[in-house]
């Protein structure tokens, strides 16, 4: 795949929306290794943009903003005119900008719609107007059978991305999505929260110790994004097979990892069960029964072709290396045995 990525990225112009966030910034750093002509880093977060601009580049002593193959752009995907300007002459778009925190979206639903739905619409229309080659949308397990506002808006974003492949007419742009589980150590994830609570000698707040979640490393997310970039024909949703973690086990591993660091005895750290937050589920899903019925799988990935009829596109096993028809009835964290505490420790800290 490395050779394919070199062929796709070398000399190309790439835009990453939400490019200073946890996923967006890792996409930027990873893409830069393949010598694109330029990467435009699009964000409405001035503080994170400033911080990222002053990162020391891996290739030497220069900072991010001192090197000619990257551009930092302040803007919001809600602003279509700004997105059009940012996307001018771009080859590949990674669309990572979104409102992602479940309780915040639950209490601010109109804002979630403006960013996650209307913002995605702006990205699609700008990509078509600019003649972009491909757009890879970053989605979430919350979009599957959603029970909260964030998940519902991300499901709508997925549908817009799928439908764009049929509504584009003769334009060449390919639109596809990747679905993530919980990304460990990302901003807003529970691991940094638990660490901070331990540091401040506060009780660790647990919604429910029996809750299960899909867990993936940042490096896994980049692998999935790049595989989708190589394989996408248009309209697919790509999902990485990933381990399931029980929240109570994760808490115990985090306490063991950080108690000594902050000079505490792990036995003295209080756990406080606070119950589910608005919009939360006890388990998460990455693929529904209807998606599984038409899906494909490889050893490490699930591929869901669009269920919308597209006369201009067809999808088969032969389109994806080493693929076979999906053997799962669905892909839910309630059906997968959680990994052990030792496996969690290796996953997070290896």
Active-site residue list:
142
Return the beta strands (E) in 30-157 as ranges. Answer: 38-43, 70-74, 92-95, 134-140
CB distance 164 to 128 below 8 Å: yes
DSSP-assigned beta bridge partners for residue 42: 17, 73
What one-character DSSP code corresponds to residue 340?
A: P
Between CA 230 and CA 322 the distance in angstroms is 14
- Asked if 325 and 317 count as a contact pair (C-beta separation under 8 A), the reply is yes
Question: Which residue intervals of 136-287 are DSSP H helices?
Answer: 149-167, 190-199, 218-231, 247-258
Q: How many Å apart are CA 178 and CA 162, to the nearest integer?
A: 12
Map residue 213 onto helix, strand or coil.
strand
Closest to 163 measured CA to CA, from 310, 312, 314: 310
How far apart, in whole angstroms, are the C-alpha atoms of residue 298 and residue 302? 6
CA distance 1 to 230: 8
CA distance 211 to 304: 26
Write out the DSSP string of 314-325.
---GGGSTT-EE
Who's near 68: CB < 8 A, 6+ residues apart?
38
| CA-to-CA separations, 296 to 178, 305, 306, 313, 334, in angstroms, rounded | 14, 8, 12, 16, 21
CA–centroid distance for 350 within its chain? 22
Q: What is the CA radius of gyration of the chain?
A: 20
Segment holding 125, helix H or strand E = helix 119-130
């Amino acid at each position: 795949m490395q050779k394919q990525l070199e062929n796709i990225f070398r000399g190309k112009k790439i835009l990453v929306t939400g490019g200073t966030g946890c996923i967006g910034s890792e996409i930027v750093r990873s893409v830069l290794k393949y010598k694109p002509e330029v990467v435009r880093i699009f964000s409405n977060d001035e503080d994170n943009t400033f911080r990222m601009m002053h990162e020391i580049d891996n290739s030497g002593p220069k900072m991010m903003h001192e090197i000619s193959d990257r551009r930092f752009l302040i803007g919001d995907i809600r602003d279509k005119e700004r997105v059009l300007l940012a996307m001018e002459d771009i080859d590949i778009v990674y669309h990572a900008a979104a409102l992602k925190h479940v309780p915040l979206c639950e209490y601010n639903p109109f804002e979630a719609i403006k960013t996650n739905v209307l913002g995605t619409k702006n990205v699609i229309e700008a990509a078509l107007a600019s003649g972009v080659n491909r757009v890879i949308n970053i989605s979430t397990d919350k979009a599957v059978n959603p029970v909260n506002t964030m998940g519902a808006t991300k499901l709508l974003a997925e549908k817009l991305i799928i439908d764009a492949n049929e509504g584009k007419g003769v334009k060449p742009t390919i639109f596809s999505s990747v679905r993530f589980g919980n990304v460990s150590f990302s901003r807003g994830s529970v691991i940094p929260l638990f660490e901070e609570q331990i540091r401040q000698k506060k009780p660790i707040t647990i919604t429910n110790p029996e809750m299960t979640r899909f867990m993936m490393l940042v490096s896994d997310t980049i692998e999935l994004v790049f595989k989708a970039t190589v394989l996408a024909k248009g309209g697919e949703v790509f999902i990485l097979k990933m381990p399931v973690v029980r929240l109570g086990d994760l808490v115990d591993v985090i306490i063991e990892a950080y108690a000594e660091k902050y000079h505490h005895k792990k036995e003295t750290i209080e756990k406080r069960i606070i119950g589910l937050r608005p919009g939360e589920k006890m388990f998460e899903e990455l693929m529904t029964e209807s998606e599984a019925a038409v899906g494909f799988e490889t050893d490490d990935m699930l591929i869901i072709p669009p269920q919308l009829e597209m006369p201009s596109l067809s999808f088969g096993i032969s389109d994806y290396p080493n693929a076979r028809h999906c053997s799962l009835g669905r892909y839910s964290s309630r059906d997968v045995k959680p990994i052990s505490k030792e496996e969690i420790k290796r996953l997070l800290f290896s």
